[in-house]
Amino acid sequence: MAAAGEGYRRNRRLCLGVTALERLFFKQGEGNEYRVSLRSKGEVDIGAIAKEYGGGGHKNASGCSATGSIAELKRTFREKIVEAIDAAGAK
């Protein structure tokens, strides 16, 4: 099993100046299997994203497993996070 991890911090500010995304981290298992860790602040519900992949946790701290190329998973999770940030800003 590979122990490689790939993570990045990307802050995106809502119109109210609230930091939304704290962390998105991918840890590679075997092949194209990844453990995904998500952290957010404020009203951004990243727990709903983790649940889509059979994971769980809390509104601001969740995790799941996902299979695919790292490039595709990054793109997919970024899109879902942007949607969650936009939804939180609309409340």
Q: Residue 9 pLDDT > 90, yes or no?
A: no
| DSSP-assigned beta bridge partners for residue 37 | 25, 63
Nearby residues of 25 by Cβ (< 8 Å), 6 or more positions away: 5, 6, 7, 8, 36, 37, 38
Residue with the bigger pLDDT between 84 and 7: it is: 84
Rounded to the nearest angstrom, the gap between the alpha carbon of residue 78 and the centroid of all alpha carbons in its chain is 7
Tokens of 8: 């990045």
What is the pTM assigned to this prediction? Answer: 0.76
Alpha-carbon distance 68 to 60, whole Å?
A: 24
- Give residue 11's pLDDT: 40
How would you classify the pairing of strands 5-8 and 21-28?
antiparallel
Question: pLDDT (tens digit, 9 = 90+) per residue, 40-75?
Answer: 888 889 999 999 999 999 999 999 999 999 999 999
- Give residue 43's pLDDT: 86
- Give residue 41's pLDDT: 83
- Give residue 87's pLDDT: 87
Tell me what the mean pLDDT of segment 25-29 comes to: 94
